[in-house]
Chains A and B, each alone.
Chain A
Amino acid sequence: MAIVSLKEVKKTYPLGKTEVHAVKGVSFEIARGDFISIAGPSGSGKSTILNMIGCIDVPTAGTVELNGQITSGLTDREITELRHKFVGFIFQSFNLIPVLNVYENIEFPLLLGRNTPDQKQRKEWTEYLIEEVGLTDWAKHRPNELSGGQRQRVAIARSLATKPELVLADEPTANLDSETSEAIIGLMKKINIEMNTTFIFSTHDPTIVELAEHIIKLKDGLIASEYRRDK
C-alpha cells in the first residue's frame, strides 16, 4: 500500500479578484521507504503539494491519502495529531525556534500531544538524533550560533523526533552552498536507509534532483514527468 496517494488534487488560491491555480489536477503515489524528489521551477506547485501531503493545507478538489486515510474531512485536532505522529517537516529557512537550543529544538515535538514519552526515553532518543546528525558538540547552542548547514541538520533531527513514517522537506538546500547541500541530502538518504523513513523533498536544483530515486517533475501545476531510478 502506498504511504501517500494523491488523486486529481487541485489547489486554487484567491488573489485579489482573480484566482491562482497552483495545482491543476495531480495524481501520484509514493511507496513506503521512498526517497523522492518533487522538482520544478518556482511557481510549479511543489510547495503547495508538499503542504497538502503534510496536512498543513487542504486541496480545493481531489483527495490526499496518508497511509490509507483520506485527510480531508478531519477536524483540526485530528489533523494536528496525524501531523504530529506521522509527518516530519524540514523547511527551506530551517524554522528553528530561536529561544531553544539544539537539544531543546529537537526534543520539542516530543513534548507536544498527549502521550509524551518519559524524560529518560526523550533524552536517549534526542541525544541519539543529535549524534546521528553530527551535532553532539553543539547541543547547548542556540540556532543563531550555528551555520546554515548545522541549522538544517537540527531541522532534520527535529523532523525525526516523533519517529514519523514520512518526512517532507521543502527546498531543504535552497539556502545552502552546493557542498553542504549534498551533505544534507546525503544525511537524509542515510536516515532513509537506516530508519526506512519515507523522504519527499522539493527542489529546483538539477544536481540535487538527481540524488533521488523517484522523481516527479512539475510544470505549471501539472506533472510534466515521473520516473524511478534503480536503487
Chain B
Amino acid sequence: MKLIRLALRNLLRQKRRSILLGSAIAFGILFITLINGFTGSFIENVGENFSNLMAGHIFIDGVEKSSSGKDLYLIDDDSRIMDAIEKSGIEYNFLTKRSEIRGTLLFEGNGINQSIVGADWEKESYFKERIILKEGTFENLSDPHGIIVSSKIAERLNVQLGDHVIVKMQTYTGQQTAGDFTIAAISIDTGLFGSISCYANILYVNELLNIGPDKYLTLGIYLNNLIDTDPVTAKLLPELEKRINLFSRETTDDGNPFMAILEQQEEEEWDGVKYRLTTINDLLSEVEEIVRILNIAGLIIMLVLFAIIMVGITNTFRMVMFERIQEIGTMRAVGMHRSEVRALFLFEAFLLAIGGIISGYILSGITMFIISRVYWGVDTPLFMLLKNGYMTFRLAPLQIILNFVIVTILTLLAAFRPADKAAKLEPALALSTEK
C-alpha cells in the first residue's frame, strides 16, 4: 500500500510527463477500441441489412431439374414446409414469400439488366418501413403493374413517376416473354445493393414467370434476432428432413454449407423437387472472414503502436531513474530492499497504464457516442455497414479486458528494465552520483 501511494505521488510529481505518457497509452486504446467496436457491430449490421434486403434470416427454396437439365426454382406446394415450421416450434417474426424476375428493363432506348423482386405488399407491411422512398408512395403499388426502382436505376433509365417501362425476360420454364411496369415510386439508392432494389407485386411477377398465383420462389423466415439464426436452423432442420427431400448442409471441414449445397446440386441427380435451406450466416461467413482480418490487422497495428509507445516509456523511466538516483540511494540506505525499489517503479508504470487505459476507454466512449450520432444517410456505399444510416459500435467485454491486460503487460515490460536497473544500483554509488 505504501509503495502504491508513493508511486502515485511520484507520478503526480511530473504531471506533464505523466500526462503525455498516459495520453500515448490512451491514444493506443482509443485506436484499438474504435476498430474493435466497429468490427463488433460490422457483422451484426451487415447481417441485419442483408436480412432486410433479402427478407429473412433463413431461406428455403425448391429446385427441380428440367428435361434439358436446367435447374428450375419453385415452391409449388409449401404445406409440408409450413407444417415443419409449426411442429418445430421455432419462434420467428414473420414469413416472406418472394418471386423474382431476372431480365432487362427498357425505356426509350435505355436498357438495364435488373432483378425484380415480387412481394405481397399487403402481407409484408414491415417492408415499407425499410424502404425509404424518394418520390411516389406505397399507395401507388395498388396498381398491379406498379414497380419501385432505386434512384440510380431511375437515373440510368431516365424514368420518372408514372412512366411505363418494358421488361424483357424468360418465364419460369425459359420461354422468352415481356411485361410492362409503371414506375410507382423511386427509392433512395442503397449503395452496393441498389441493383437488387426493384420491387413489384408478386401476383404480376408470378404471371410473367408463368407460375400460379399461390406459388413462389423463396420462403424467407424473418427471425427476431440475427443471433437466433443457427439455433433456429438446428431446430427446424430435422422437422424439414422428415417431410421434404432436402440438400444436406453437412460440410467435411469448416466449409460454407451453401457451397456444399451448390456442389450437391451440380453433382447429384434427383426426381421431383429437392429443397435447399440456406441461412444469412452462410452468406455472412465471408463477412466474418473480413471481420477476422480487420481484427488481426487492428491487433498488429496496436502492437506496432505500443512498441513505439513502449520505447517512449522505457526512455522516460530511464530518465526518471537518473533524476531520482539519490532518492533511490537514500531509500536503499534506510532499508528498502531491491525488490521494493523494483516494485515501486513497476507500480508507477502500472498506475500510468491504468490511468492511460481508463482515459482511453472514456475517450473511446465519447468518440463512439459522437460518431454514432452522425447520420451518414442510406445512399452511401457504407450503407451495409450502418444501422439505419448510423454507425454503431459493439464491444465484447472480453475484448475490453483482453486489451486492458495486453496494454498493462506491455507497459510493465517497457518499465521493467529501468526498474530492474534502479533496483540493482549500489546505494553508495547512487548517493554519490551528481545529477
A residues near B (Cβ < 8 Å) are 47, 51, 54, 56-57, 76-77, 80-81, 83-85, 88-89, 91, 93, 95, 97-100, 108-109, 111-113, 158, 162
Distance in angstroms from B166 CB to nearest chain A CB is 85
Q: Does B332 contact A (CB under 8 A)?
A: yes
- List B329-361 residues whose CB lies under 8 Å from chain A: 329-338, 340
Cα-based distance from A57 to B333 in the complex (angstroms): 10
**Most chain B CB neighbours (cut-off 10 Å) among A51, A85, A95:** A95
Decide: B333 and A89 in contact? CB cutoff 8 A.
yes
Cα-based distance from A170 to B332 in the complex (angstroms): 16
CB within 8 A of B327: which of A97, A109, A113, A162? Answer: A97
Closest 4 CB pairs of A and B: A84-B335, A99-B9, A57-B428, A56-B427
Chain B residues whose C-beta falls within 8 Å of the C-beta of A112 in the assembled complex = 334-337, 340
B residues near A (Cβ < 8 Å) are 2, 6, 9-10, 12-13, 326-327, 329-338, 340, 426-428, 431-432
Chain A residues whose C-beta falls within 8 Å of the C-beta of B334 in the assembled complex = 83-84, 88-89, 108-109, 112, 158
Decide: B431 and A91 in contact? CB cutoff 8 A.
yes
Cα-based distance from A62 to B336 in the complex (angstroms): 27
Q: For residue B8, which residue of chain A has the nearest CB?
A: A99
Chain B residues whose C-beta falls within 8 Å of the C-beta of A97 in the assembled complex = 6, 327, 330-331
Cα-based distance from A81 to B310 in the complex (angstroms): 35
Q: For residue A77, which residue of chain B has the nearest CB?
A: B337
Q: For residue A86, which residue of chain B has the nearest CB?
A: B335
Chain B residues whose C-beta falls within 8 Å of the C-beta of A57 in the assembled complex = 426-428
Q: A57-B427, A89-B334 are in contact. List 8 more A-B contacts (CB 8 A).
A: A80-B332, A81-B335, A88-B334, A97-B6, A108-B2, A109-B334, A111-B2, A112-B336
Chain B residues whose C-beta falls within 8 Å of the C-beta of A99 in the assembled complex = 6, 9-10, 12-13
Cα-based distance from A203 to B335 in the complex (angstroms): 24
Chain A residues whose C-beta falls within 8 Å of the C-beta of B12 in the assembled complex = 99
Distance in angstroms from A136 CB to nearest chain B CB is 22
Chain B residues whose C-beta falls within 8 Å of the C-beta of A85 in the assembled complex = 335
Decide: B327 and A80 in contact? CB cutoff 8 A.
no
CB within 8 A of A100: which of B9, B329, B338, B431? Answer: B9
Chain A residues whose C-beta falls within 8 Å of the C-beta of B10 in the assembled complex = 99
Q: For residue A51, which residue of chain B has the nearest CB?
A: B428
Chain A residues whose C-beta falls within 8 Å of the C-beta of B427 in the assembled complex = 56-57
Chain B residues whose C-beta falls within 8 Å of the C-beta of A91 in the assembled complex = 330, 431
CB within 8 A of A162: which of B331, B335, B431? Answer: B335
Q: A91-B330, A99-B6, A112-B334 are in contact. Are A56 and B431 (CB under 8 A)?
A: yes
